[in-house]
Structure 1
Amino acid sequence: MNQIQETKSLLIFEEIKGSSKLIYRQHKEDETEEKVFIYKVTGDTYEYEFDGDAIKKIVFEGFSDLPGIIIHYGYGFQEKSLQNFFKYRITGDQINKLVITQDSTSRKSRKTLYLRLDELEDLLSEINKEQRACNDTKKILIKNYLVKVNPSFSFDHQETNNNKKLILRNLNQKLIDQLTADEIETIGKFYINAAQKYKRADLIKRMSFGLQKNAQILTLQEIIAKYETLLDSNSAESEWQSFFDEYITLFDTRYAHKLDYKNIATGITKYPDLVLVDIYGYIDFYELKKSGMPLIKYDSSHKTWYWTKDVAMVISQASDYLQKAKENGLSYSSTIKKITATEEHDGLEVNIINPRAIIVAGNSKMLNSELKRDHFKNLRESLKDIEFVLYDELLDRLKNLLDSIKLG
């Protein structure tokens, strides 16, 4: 065995065995002079020892010298992230042998992975660019923070958008799933501005439509998830009121405005849970009760079903809202216009002609027989200007709306 090279801390040895050369290393400070096998060379093939969980050897085929992507003294790949991935992230049921070539195509054959050297080098170039961009971004974030803390620092504020490829790679479904509706809107504004760069109306229209569709899907998915949580827990009326107050104009596009009805003189002391104005200026009153609220009771003497006391009270309240609104239609319209006026706008023009009341209460699980369902249908269809909606019916509407947007 002959010594063929010396570094600051290592001695490199060569051993000839038949048509092969075996290369070893020895640490100078090792008093036992232990020699560690690095690789074997046979013709233009290098068999390199690798201490991976699954990969124990990397074979380089068709090379006159060991490529620079691997450390010639052992220890694996030069690039740490590549080293760690092949060492720890590859399992034996995936591959147990890695072959790096110059000519053949990259592929997987049984448990052997073949990779082209030029493709690996391109990958390493991208990794290095990513790391440099990441380091640059870190520096920018630190500088921006210091300027924010004390403007006397002589650093210019910079935007952290210096890696276009990184940004484009992250524009995928996984990112969309994590974004809120407000964040989608922020991206949308950038999206439209970017489209205007090319002064193409067809491109702007297509991009705007796609953005709107994705924003609707994301918003509805978020709303449905929250709705299901409230429904499963039979939430209090106040929680449903907060939910509808925040989201109804998003999932029911008929509505353009919400009104603070308590600011309007009504002549009654009880107020609707929600007052909405649709896109045509007509008013709807909402009464929201619990999803577990009992709906109907059986009258054994007449062999029929009737509204429970709680539901009858809600219907009575809703009827009272409608009656007061009709009696005071002109003054209500005038008051609404006045309280919604701003410096730039005269206020809402609303129509209080045949207003509607929508009661949302109960769920279809309570109607557990065909007879109950039939009587409930008859009872709610007998209501004048009042729509009675079950909570799970509204959930089905939301899901159907989401499906139609996805297919559109």
Structure 2
Amino acid sequence: MNEVYQNKRFVLYSKESVNDKGKEEVLFYRKDLEDEDVDNLTHIYSILTNEEECYCEYYFEGDIIRLIRIELFEEEGDDSIELPKFISDLGFGFTNPNVNRFFKYKFPLYEIDTLIISVETESSKIDNQLIINYADLDVLLANLNQEKRAHSDTNKILLKNFLVEICPDVKFDYTETNNNKDLIFRNLNDKLISNLTVEEVERLGDFYVKAIAKFKRKDVVDKLNTGLLKNAQLITLKDIIRQYEKHLTNDPLESVWQSFFDKYITLFDSRYVNKIDFKNIATGITKYPDLVLMDIYGYLDFYELKRCETKLLSEDKSHKTFYLSTDVSKVIAQVSDYLQKVRDNAVTYAKSIEEESENDTISGLDVKIINPRAIIVIGHSKELNTKKKRNSFKSLREGFKDIEFVLYDELLERLKNLLKIIEEDKN
């Protein structure tokens, strides 16, 4: 038994041997100087060598991982073999306390009991072994050390700033914290989002705008601005979809749907560029459509909104057929009346809309009332739960020339498809 070295608390011994597989090995033992039993030695690891490889079998007292195998570098012309600095040569595990605690107490993969630190093999999981490449481990340790230094620097800055705030006579400069770029980006994750306040999110937005200003090339600025716009669209669209889904569940009054569509109708169909307040137009109509929209070509469409739980079909049991329900028939009669009055007074209405929409700064709207359409938003496809019902409703809805039926869940699908397009385009 050879003494390798001694510190104030422990002695490290080594012993050369040949194991039962014929491999040369050096066994290392730790002796606690406070232990009065002189023969009480702890076998902590072995270094094994042959013509092909040199590695250390390191006994680890983890809850799950019990063995670490470390591939070692053998310097040419140098018979001494040392453990890498990331592992304790006294058998106490990883020298970084965070790494050591993780693999000792927090490691979650119960099917793994062996950790291999490899020179050439890529990081991977094979059966009961977790392989970590040296290069990957170096990156981890560098990041952890950087985090530790940044934490220490932040604490120092916070203390100095505290003294400046409570006692301005103290001659310290007020310093912003977290100026380490890599550290900041590592912390930009979804977990952080849940902890942000409105004011903090607003600060992030201000920071993004200032960051864009550093670039001078127009193509770069345009690209960043486009990305910001798409992000804003995604946020808005996701919120609108959440509201829509909530309305579908609650089946609110028609007035609630009208308010919702009044805000967001242009998202459902990008052709529309103007909403017209028909109630303020001198048309002579006493009952008004819920929405009147003008498309990019100046043509008008009339929207009538009913509840999403409105019954679509009734059954004629004697003939084993389906026909449009009473509620649907009523709304058809209602919109047919709109359309007829608009056709009969097309010139007068167009002129009234132009005059009422004109002001000191903009010209009036040049609308074209030619074969106007009525779009009835009503019902849900869950009612069409058989092939016969679906075919019947398809035939009935396609039988109208100037009236179109749109189901509420069909509009939700449009919104989700739009969201998917924006997300794919962003990526």
Same fold (TM over 0.5): yes
1:329 aligns with 2:345: no
Secondary structure (helix, strand or coil) at the match of 2:248 reads helix
1:5 aligns with 2:19: no
1:52 aligns with 2:68: no
1:20 matched to which residue of 2?
A: 26
1:2-401 correspondence runs (5 A): 4-7=5-8, 10-14=9-13, 16=15, 18=17, 20-26=26-32, 28=34, 37-41=43-47, 45-60=55-70, 61-62=72-73, 64-87=81-104, 88-93=106-111, 95-100=112-117, 103-108=119-124, 110-133=127-150, 158=176, 162-165=179-182, 190=208, 194=212, 197=215, 199=217, 201=219, 223-224=240-241, 227-231=244-248, 234-258=251-275, 270-298=287-315, 307-322=324-339, 323=341, 326=346, 328-338=349-359, 346=362, 349=365, 351=367, 353-354=369-370, 355-367=372-384, 376-377=393-394, 379-381=396-398, 383=400, 385-399=402-416, 401=418
Q: Is the 8 A contact 2:353 2:364 kept in 1?
A: no
> 1:85 and 1:377, CA in 2 relative to 1: closer, same or farther beyond 3 A?
same
Distance across 1 between alignment mates of 2:315 and 2:216: 68
Q: State the AA in 1 paired with 2:120.
A: S
State the aligned residue count: 390
C-alpha displacement at 1:360, in angstroms?
A: 0.4
Q: State the AA in 1 paired with 2:353.
A: Y
> 1:51 and 1:353, CA in 2 relative to 1: closer, same or farther beyond 3 A?
same
Secondary structure (helix, strand or coil) at the match of 2:63 reads coil
Please list the CA deviations of residues 263-300 of structure 1 after superposition, one character each: whole Å capped at 9, or x if unmatched: 66665565543444433444433222222211243568
Distance across 2 between alignment mates of 1:142 and 1:346: 59
Secondary structure (helix, strand or coil) at the match of 1:334 reads helix
Distance across 2 between alignment mates of 1:375 and 1:92: 57
Q: Is the 8 A contact 2:375 2:404 kept in 1?
A: yes
Secondary structure (helix, strand or coil) at the match of 1:358 reads strand
Q: Is the 8 A contact 1:336 1:350 kept in 2?
A: no
Q: Is the 8 A contact 2:268 2:411 kept in 1?
A: no
**Please, what TM-score do these two structures have when normalized by structure 2?**
0.66
Q: State the AA in 2 paired with 1:363.
A: H
Q: Is the 8 A contact 1:196 1:204 kept in 2?
A: no
C-alpha displacement at 1:237, in angstroms?
A: 3.3
Secondary structure (helix, strand or coil) at the match of 1:91 reads coil
Distance across 2 between alignment mates of 1:385 and 1:141: 69
1:179 matched to which residue of 2?
A: none
Secondary structure (helix, strand or coil) at the match of 2:303 reads strand
Distance across 2 between alignment mates of 1:142 and 1:385: 73
Task: Please identify the structure whose Cα radius of gyration is greater.
Answer: 2
Consecutive unaligned residues in structure 1, runs of 5 or more: 177-182
Q: Is the 8 A contact 1:188 1:211 kept in 2?
A: no
> 1:170 and 1:385, CA in 2 relative to 1: closer, same or farther beyond 3 A?
farther
Q: State the AA in 1 paired with 2:10.
A: L
Consecutive unaligned residues in structure 2, runs of 5 or more: 18-24, 75-80, 194-200
Q: Is the 8 A contact 1:100 1:114 kept in 2?
A: yes
> 1:174 and 1:207, CA in 2 relative to 1: closer, same or farther beyond 3 A?
farther
C-alpha displacement at 1:361, in angstroms?
A: 0.3
> 1:206 and 1:306, CA in 2 relative to 1: closer, same or farther beyond 3 A?
same
C-alpha displacement at 1:400, in angstroms?
A: 5.0
Distance across 1 between alignment mates of 2:309 and 2:421: 29
> 1:321 and 1:59, CA in 2 relative to 1: closer, same or farther beyond 3 A?
same
Q: State the AA in 1 paired with 2:32.
A: Q
Which deviates the most, 188-197 or 242-251?
188-197
> 1:307 and 1:97, CA in 2 relative to 1: closer, same or farther beyond 3 A?
closer
Secondary structure (helix, strand or coil) at the match of 1:291 reads coil
C-alpha displacement at 1:214, in angstroms?
A: 6.9
Q: State the AA in 2 paired with 1:5.
A: Q
Distance across 1 between alignment mates of 2:155 and 2:363: 49
C-alpha displacement at 1:228, in angstroms?
A: 4.5
Distance across 1 between alignment mates of 2:213 and 2:375: 42
